[in-house]
């Protein structure tokens, strides 16, 4: 009898809230492409009927998706039809998540630089294989970074442009998609460098 009670208590402790289950269902529809970027979702009342749950459960599920960056912020969720985020908003959410990871995990600058070297080494190889790639923009940004005196804001802007150009020349869609998130990590690393000077 004691074992049965423990099993029930354990099952109750891991029970997933209904709003989380609903947010996962909607998330699956978004990431599968069934709900396209920028698409309007059904209204709260339509979702309530479709999913067979209360309006408060739907609202909480929508808030979860907004917090994840999958739904565009609408102010009052209940008065407007929620929209799937645009690529820009999703990239921004990914950047915030990566920046939080970098800060909360207190990742050492050396580790970030090492990761950057590995990823960008692969991007350089891909750009070399990509016959139509133009590295003129990357070369211009590199020249700007080498100018003296070194202005931190100008260096950061040129650094960002260099990496964007490099990833663009690689022609790898996954590299370009993660570009915005990586930009946030680069901002953290370059801030650290300039704080130490």
Map tokens 């408060």 to a residue.
Answer: 56
Per-residue model confidence (pLDDT) at position 52: 95
Q: Which of 25-29, 57-61, 99-103 has the lowest mean pLDDT?
A: 99-103
Burial 40-62 (b: 16+ CB within 10 A, else e): ebeebeebbeebebeeebbbbbb
Q: Choose the final residue of a domain: 54, 85, 116.
A: 85
Shared domain for 79 and 92, answered yes or no, is: no
Write out pLDDT tens, residues 178-190. 555 555 555 554 5
Residue 193's pLDDT band, with cuts at 50, 70 and 90, is very low
Overall domain count for the chain: 2
Contact 47, 41 (CB under 8 A): yes
Residues 70 and 136 in one domain: no
pLDDT at residue 7, rounded to an integer: 56
Using the Cα atoms of residue 38, residue 44, residue 50 and residue 54 in order, give the sign of their dihedral. Answer: positive
Task: Look at residue 17 in the predicted model and tell me its pLDDT.
Answer: 93
Of residues 41 and 3, the one with the higher pLDDT is 41
Q: Does residue 36 sit in the same domain as residue 117?
A: no
- Of residues 132 and 5, the one with the higher pLDDT is 132
* Last residue within a domain, chosen from 40, 58, 85: 85
Answer yes or no: do 102 and 23 share one domain.
Answer: no
pTM above 0.75, yes or no: no
Shared domain for 79 and 155, answered yes or no, is no
Q: Please provide the average confidence, as pLDDT, over all residues in the chain.
A: 78
C-beta separation of 188 from 105 below 8 A:
no
Claim to verify: residue 95 and residue 184 sit in the same structural domain:
yes
What count of other Cβ atoms lies within 10 Å of the Cβ of residue 92?
Answer: 16
Q: Is the pLDDT at 114 greater than 80, yes or no?
A: yes
The predicted structure's pLDDT at residue 177: 56
Distance from CA of residue 6 to its chain's centroid? 39
> Mean pLDDT across the stretch 141-166?
85
Q: Which residues contact 14 (CB under 8 A, 6 or more apart)?
A: none
Q: Whole-angstrom Cα distance, residue 11 to residue 149?
A: 63
Residue range(s) defining the domain that contains residue 110: 88-196
Examine the domain organization and report whether 7 and 39 are in the same domain: yes
In this structure, the answer to whether residues 48 and 59 fall within a common structural domain is: yes
- CA-CA distances (angstroms) from residue 111 to 16, 88, 102, 121, 196? 35, 27, 10, 15, 17
Regarding whether 113 and 75 lie in a shared domain, the answer is no
Between residues 177 and 120, the one the model is more confident about? 120
User: Are 102 and 163 part of one and the same domain?
Assistant: yes
Given 22, 54, 85, the domain boundary residue is 85
DSSP state of 37: T
Stated length of the chain: 197
Same domain membership, residue 110 and residue 48: no
Instruction: Kindly state whether residues 71 and 165 are assigned to the same domain.
Output: no
Pick the closest to residue 157 from 177, 140, 174 (CA basis).
Answer: 140
């Amino acid at each position: 009898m004691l074992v049965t009670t423990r099993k029930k208590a354990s099952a109750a402790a891991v029970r997933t809230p209904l709003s989380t289950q609903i947010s996962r269902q909607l998330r699956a529809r978004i990431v599968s492409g069934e709900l396209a970027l920028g698409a309007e979702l059904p209204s709260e009342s339509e979702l309530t009927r479709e999913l067979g749950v209360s309006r408060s459960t739907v609202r909480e599920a929508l808030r979860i998706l907004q917090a994840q960056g999958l739904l565009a912020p609408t102010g009052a969720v209940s008065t407007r039809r929620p929209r799937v985020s645009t690529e820009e908003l999703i990239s921004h959410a990914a950047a915030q998540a990566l920046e939080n990871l970098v800060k909360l995990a207190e990742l050492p600058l050396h580790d970030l630089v090492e990761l950057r070297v590995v990823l960008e080494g692969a991007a350089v190889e891909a750009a070399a294989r990509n016959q139509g790639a133009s590295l003129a923009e990357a070369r211009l940004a590199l020249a700007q970074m080498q100018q003296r005196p070194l202005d931190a804001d100008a260096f950061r802007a040129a650094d960002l442009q260099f990496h964007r150009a490099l990833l663009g020349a690689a022609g790898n869609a996954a590299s370009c998609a993660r570009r915005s998130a990586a930009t946030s990590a680069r901002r953290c690393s370059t801030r650290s460098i300039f704080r130490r000077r």
